[in-house]
Structure 1
Amino acid sequence: MTTLADSGTYPETYYAGAYWGPRRESPEECAQRAAAFFNLLAACDPLLANWNKIPKPRGKGRKTPLMPPDLPTLTEAFRRGVNREPGGPAFEQLGLTVSAYNDGPPNEIVFVNMTCGSYAQTNSANVCVLSIPSKGESAERMLTASMLTDVTRSMALAWESDWAVAMSHAHRDLQDAEGEADIWLGWVTYLSRDRGTVPPLPAPVRIEPVEDRGTLIILTPERFTVANPEHVALARRVRELLAQAGLMRTAGEGPRG
């Protein structure tokens, strides 16, 4: 297994994100999804079992625990999370945003940002992004294929996302540098069944269903890193196969007509 020390002085940092298009939802509906998400995360790892709302403006206000999930508290958090200019009207079409942090040690603090209920006409109007620790015992425990598969599955189920990914920022930046792509292909990637059927993929790639909603693609059993040229080559090959099946564009292909 690749360890943090193998990545050099500045190890790759990782995150997980779920993305879905316009879906108008009320604060109550967003709260129900967030409660389901927090419960699923708590089952993944103890580090993900305790959450507090980040107040607006950040750093001010009392601590607001969000676990165990309390629907009235979460509903009020989303209601207050409407996008607006200071002192101006609410931009309801941009959705409702709630940010939270865990109760982990200082070097293992995890943040999650959730935007739900947006009906703005963009491909990723709604998003949930979770940071992953890059140092310490929690990082070694969480930066595994099995753990990030569970986290990505939790995102797909709770948010009913179009796609989701767990990957390093370096791998994301590499794909961005190679050209515009409609979605990122990560160490772990979830694709909704609405995007199409995932074709057979070369070893060591593993494919897992997520109930009847979509498919998880796990590129490598060991930690995926851009420092490994074999990992990068595998990701490019898998992206080509998925593009041929109509599930995503290859980097540099440009927007679909």
Structure 2
Amino acid sequence: MEFVFGHYYFIRASWGARPETPEALAARFLKNIDLLSAIDPLLALWLSGVNGPKKLEAIRDRYAQIVAARISKDDWGEPEPIYGYSFGAITGGHPCPLSYALRIHAGGYIEGDDFQNAAEFATNSTCIPDPAAISYRIFQAALLAIVEAWQPTDCFARPTGLIDLSPDTGDHFREAWMQYLSAPLAARITPPQTAVIDRFPDGSLLMSATTDTFDIANPAHLAVARDIGAAMAPLNELPWPSGHKAD
């Protein structure tokens, strides 16, 4: 597998307007951290804080205060809760190629602004990821942990290099290594037979291009990722939740 410097692997979950208090967001975030920590020793130690990294366990009891301090602000420094809160954490105890970040923007509730909230889990973008850090086992479990904690509309995993191989159409739903769709969206598509399909009791769906680490140099991986993207084309035509085709 060929890795390119500056390319990293990431998971991104998205959802629309959902006003939430700092206390509710902190509870979701800490649940997400706990679920991630149980996946692998690489994810066992998390650092966070407004004024510099601290062990998350040391500030857990006051994490809602940290979230509250990260409220969106206007050009004059005044709070704008309608735009939500931005916060996150990074892993500790491992070198750059084996490290991750969890970044959250949530609590926004702008009327008509679709997919304004997001959770992103990613390897470190400043170094080439160690193959051990980007296994299917870790990334699938991390994706499902994010889904459980944040209840998004959709959630995908891909390497940034996959984006570079396709023209930028502005569509939300595109090629992916893994693509989760909530039940309302899953009901609108026919998953490709080439993909690995996981269906869940609530009607949601996970499509995977491969159960190996996704390799942009592997034609078989790319072919299924494109099949996944093609299967979701009808979703890009919806006025909601994507909004990209709305007039």
1:105-162 deviation per Cα after TM superposition (whole angstroms, max 9, x unaligned): 23233222111111023222111111125646xx322322222111111111100011
**1:7 and 2:36 correspond:** no
Which residues of structure 1 form unaligned runs of 5+? 1-5, 56-60
Partner of 1:148: 139
Flag the 1:212–1:129 CA change in 2: closer, same or farther, 3 A.
same
Within-5 A mapping of 1:37-186: 37-55=32-50, 61-67=51-57, 70=60, 72-85=61-74, 88-107=77-96, 108-120=98-110, 121-133=112-124, 135=128, 139-175=130-166, 177-186=167-176
In structure 2, what residue type is equivalent to 1:66? Answer: L
Partner of 2:28: 33
| 2:223 paired residue among 233, 236, 239 | 233
Deviation at residue 226 of structure 1 after TM alignment? 2.3
TM value normalised by structure 1? 0.81
Mark the runs of 5 or more structure 2 residues left unpaired by the alignment.
Answer: 238-243
Contact 2:176–2:229 (CA<8 Å) still a contact in 1?
A: no
Cα separation, partners in 2 of 1:54 and 1:180, compared to 1, 3 Å? same
Query: Do residues 215 (structure 1) and 205 (structure 2) align?
Result: yes
1:96, 1:116 within 8 Å by CA — same for their partners in 2? yes
Change (3 A) 1:155 1:106: same
Q: CA deviation at 1:199?
A: 2.3
Change (3 A) 1:67 1:49: farther
Question: Relative to structure 1, is the Cα distance of residues 235 and 256 closer, same or farther in structure 2, using a 3 angstrom cutoff?
Answer: farther
Deviation string, structure 1 residues 3-37 (Cα, Å, up to 9, x no partner): xxx21564842111111111000001101110110
AA paired with 1:89?
E
Please, which moves more after superposition, 118-127 or 30-39? 118-127
Offset at 1:98?
0.9
Letter in 2 for 1:223: T
Q: Does 1:18 align with 2:13?
A: yes
Q: What's the C-alpha RMSD, in Å, of the aligned pairs?
A: 2.5
- Find the counterpart in structure 2 of residue 242 from structure 1: 232
| SS of residue matched to 1:78 | helix
Instruction: Using the TM superposition, give the Cα deviation of residue 87 of structure 1 relative to its aligned residue in structure 2, in angstroms.
Output: 5.5
Partner SS for 2:57: coil
Alpha-carbon distance change, 143 to 211 in structure 1, aligned in 2, over 3 angstroms: farther
Number of aligned residue pairs: give it. 236
2:3 touches 2:128 (CA, 8 Å); kept in 1? no
TM-score (norm 2): 0.84
The offset of 1:69, in angstroms, is 7.9
| Cα distance change of structure 1 residues 103 and 10 upon mapping to structure 2, 3 Å threshold | closer
Work out the CA distance in 2 between the residues paired with 1:35 and 1:106.
23
For residues 9 and 126 of structure 1, the distance between their equivalents in structure 2, rounded to whole angstroms, comes to 29
Counterpart of 1:44 in 2: which secondary structure? coil
Q: Percent identity?
A: 22
Partner secondary structure for residue 74 of structure 1? helix
Q: Rate the CA distance shift 1:94–1:9 in 2: closer, same or farther, 3 A.
A: closer
